[in-house]
Amino acid sequence: MSDSKALPMIGGVMLVFFLPLLVVIALLVGVMSGMGSAAACTPSPATEAAGMAWPTDKKEAAQGWDDEGPEQHKGMDFDVAKGSKVYAVESGEVKSVSGDWIKISHGDAMETWYQFFDTKTVKKGDKVDRGQQIGTSGEGTETAPGKSGAHLHFEVWAQGDDGGALKQADPAKLFASASSSGSGGGCSCNTDGPLVGSTNQEKAFNYLVSNGYTKEQAAGIVGNMIHESQVTPTLLNGTSPPTETRAKVAEGLDKAWGIVQWYPAKKMITASRSKGVSYETIETLEYQLKFLKEQLDGTGPVALKAIGDKMKATKTVEEAAYLFAHDYEVFTLDDNDPEYDERKKTAREVFDTYSGGAAPPGKPGAGPSTACAAGSGNIAEVAKSLAWPDGGHGKNKSDATPAFQEALPKWNSDQGYEVWSDCGRFVATVMRMSGADPEYPMVSTGVQDNYLRTSGKYDVFDNIAMSDLQPGDIFIGAGHTYLYVGQWGKYNSAAGSLGGHVPEAGYAYDVGGYTPSNGRFAVARLKKK
């Protein structure tokens, strides 16, 4: 840390508090500002998780969210020609089609609003799929800083942690990265894919591990981030969450900003802007992690490869925490300053929380498997590691996540009818790979239903309330089966659909009140050993 960059000092109690409790809903309402979107290896939400689809073919807003001055713009404007296609960003039901607007409900917690149409192709009550065209864009006039002329205006309305009425939220943080193909789960995630994890700390940890850092090294870096910013992308030195400072404002200040408190802020922001990166993107956790990675790789605009090489040579959590503080943050502290011990302690908390178990100091990688790894016993996390964290995928092998393409032939069979979209094969692959039930029948929902009810390994509930579900529960019904994984971004389940789509995120439905002929689902839960 440079002489003029003050350390945000956080007491031990605060450090422990922030590790597990910063949840994805904060992203939706923006109240935690910057705790952007994205589990041990699903180890997702933002987002944080993969983000929404884009409402237009142009994946860059001409005008983003602006609530700094007296003239505010609470939405995004896409500079597209009149007659351009407009798409639903997520599956839902059309709430209203009136005047310049189309409004789509995505359940009780979120709506998306679209303004300025030339033509509309949906009506109130229509069910729409993610990516479905809902009309063509028109033109309109907004108060500055909003756009005028031909463009699409887009808004997100989301429910806060306290429930109640929906509030406007910054849409930028809910989109998948424009440059991302979306890696889809797995412990070896695509380095530019959606972040996975339930807190910003966890997402940062998983990102670093996915990009070649050991768990010990990743914990050392994230432990420092917690002291620097609480892993809040829009945090300005001298402030604390939920206060946020937008990148455009921070760029002109002689203060540190961002997840590692780049000082001065313009060192990172101006360098990014010179590469054509928008202010909105710079404010996201995804981008800031990528910027840091490229710094340490020596490939970014502010390269620090020598420090990156030294980081990758560290062996223990404590060594990594010290080195990142001393060399990257450039402490002006004496080596015996207690701040180093605080950062080491926090890094150890990160490791113990997100690595799947604590490794003895000096023995990197000695802890148990990560939660999404083979043999972990964690049904829900393995399911999330193999399935896409969003919907809208095809049915073929090439449409599946790389992790599922690797796992299915290893733990099941890739021979047969529509194997990559087969719901039963997906559930069986998860159960076998996780080690939760290595004898789970590889295929056929009928065979699996009989096994669940007769093997003695499961409790089966024909009548169960949604509120009583637990991650790892198996939904089984006539001709279909899928898994409950708990809160996963906007979703809570994972499923394949024979001939329809490869394993992907979705919503639990038709649960309880099961009979063999009514199309609803029973729930099977593996008994505790």
**Cβ–Cβ < 8 Å for 346, 15:** yes
Spatial distance between the Cα atoms of 11 and 377, rounded to a whole number of angstroms: 35
Which residues contact residue 261 at a Cβ distance below 8 angstroms, ignoring those fewer than 6 apart?
A: 1, 5, 8, 228, 229, 235, 237, 329
What was the pLDDT predicted at 371?
Answer: 54
Spatial distance between the Cα atoms of 203 and 48, rounded to a whole number of angstroms: 9
Task: Please give the backbone phi and psi of residue 417, each rounded to the nearest 5 degrees, phi first.
Answer: -90, 125
What tokens does 128 get?
Answer: 């729409």
Task: Please give the backbone phi and psi of residue 106, each rounded to the nearest 5 degrees, phi first.
Answer: -115, 45
**Cβ–Cβ < 8 Å for 93, 105:** yes
Number of neighbouring beta carbons within 10 Å of residue 124: 12
Kindly report, residue by residue over 410-463, the tens digit of the pLDDT.
899 888 889 999 999 999 999 998 888 999 999 888 899 999 999 999 999 999
Which residues contact residue 445 at a Cβ distance below 8 angstroms, ignoring those fewer than 6 apart?
A: 423, 424, 476, 477, 478, 479, 480, 481
Tell me the pLDDT band of 107, cut-offs 50, 70 and 90.
Answer: confident
Mean pLDDT (whole number) for 59-86: 84
Listed range (103-112, 292-301, 373-382, 403-412) with the worst mean pLDDT: 373-382
Task: Please give the backbone phi and psi of residue 329, each rounded to the nearest 5 degrees, phi first.
Answer: -75, -15
Residue 472 has pLDDT above 60, yes or no: yes
Among the listed residues 480, 487, 527, the one whose alpha carbon sits nearest the alpha carbon of residue 505 = 487
Residue 174 has pLDDT above 90, yes or no: no
CATH of 12-48+181-354, one of 3.40.50.300, 3.40.50.880, 3.40.50.150, 1.10.530.10: 1.10.530.10
Mean pLDDT (whole number) for 132-144: 93
Tell me the pLDDT band of 258, cut-offs 50, 70 and 90.
Answer: very high
What was the pLDDT predicted at 186?
Answer: 33
The alpha carbon of residue 366 and the mean position of all alpha carbons in its chain are separated, in whole angstroms, by: 27
Q: In the predicted model, what is the mean pLDDT of the chain? A: 80
What was the pLDDT predicted at 356?
Answer: 59
What was the pLDDT predicted at 108?
Answer: 64
Q: How much is the pTM?
A: 0.40
Among the listed residues 78, 79, 113, the one whose alpha carbon sits nearest the alpha carbon of residue 95 = 113
DSSP symbols for 446-487: HHHHHHHHHSSSEEEESS--GGG--TT-EEEETTEEEEEEEE
What tokens does 21 get?
Answer: 């409790």
**Cβ–Cβ < 8 Å for 63, 77:** yes
Please work out, in degrees rounded to the nearest 5, the angle formed at the alpha carbon of residue 319 by the alpha carbons of 318 and 325.
90
Task: List, in sequence order, every residue forming a beta bridge with 477; answer none if it has no partner.
Answer: 480
Residue 526 has pLDDT above 90, yes or no: yes
Which residues contact residue 278 at a Cβ distance below 8 angstroms, ignoring those fewer than 6 apart?
A: 60, 61, 64
Spatial distance between the Cα atoms of 286 and 380, rounded to a whole number of angstroms: 24
What was the pLDDT predicted at 193?
Answer: 44
Tell me the pLDDT band of 209, cut-offs 50, 70 and 90.
Answer: confident
Spatial distance between the Cα atoms of 242 and 462, rounded to a whole number of angstroms: 44
Domain 76-174: CATH superfamily, name plus number = Glucose Permease (Domain IIA) (2.70.70.10)
Residue 109 has pLDDT above 80, yes or no: no
What tokens does 206 get?
Answer: 């998983």
Listed range (374-378, 439-443, 523-527) with the worst mean pLDDT: 374-378
Task: List, in sequence order, every residue forming a beta bridge with 154; answer none if it has no partner.
Answer: 76, 114
Mean pLDDT (whole number) for 328-339: 81
- Where along the chain do its domains lie? 12-48+181-354, 76-174, 379-526
Mean pLDDT (whole number) for 214-236: 93
- Our separate counts of H helices and E strands in the chain read 15, 18
Spatial distance between the Cα atoms of 9 and 20, rounded to a whole number of angstroms: 19
Spatial distance between the Cα atoms of 241 and 291, rounded to a whole number of angstroms: 22
Tell me the pLDDT band of 6, cut-offs 50, 70 and 90.
Answer: very low
Spatial distance between the Cα atoms of 50 and 278, rounded to a whole number of angstroms: 19
Q: Which residue has the tokens 């039901």?
A: 93
DSSP symbols for 30-95: -TTSS------S----TT----BPPSSS--S-SB--B-SSSS-B-SEEE---TT-EEE-SS-EEEE
What was the pLDDT predicted at 272?
Answer: 93
Domains 12-48+181-354 and 76-174 share a fold: no
What was the pLDDT predicted at 88?
Answer: 92
Please compute, for residue 336, the number of CA atoms within 13 A of its CA located in the half-sphere on the CB side: 0
DSSP symbols for 266-333: HHHHHHHHTTT--HHHHTSHHHHHHHHHHHHHT-SSS--HHHHHHHTT--SHHHHHHHIIIIIS---S
What tokens does 336 get?
Answer: 């015996």
Which residues contact residue 508 at a Cβ distance below 8 angstroms, ignoring those fewer than 6 apart?
A: 466, 469, 475, 484, 492, 493
Which amino acid belongs to residue 466?
Answer: M
Q: Which helix (H) or strand (E) holds 246?
A: none
Q: Is the dihedral of CA 125, 126, 129, 135 positive or negative?
A: negative
**213-243 as b/e, with b when 16 or more CB fall inside 10 Å?**
bbbbbbbbbbbbbbbbbbbbbbbbbebebbe
Mean pLDDT (whole number) for 204-231: 90
Spatial distance between the Cα atoms of 220 and 308, rounded to a whole number of angstroms: 13
Architecture of the 379-526 domain: Alpha-Beta Complex (3.90)
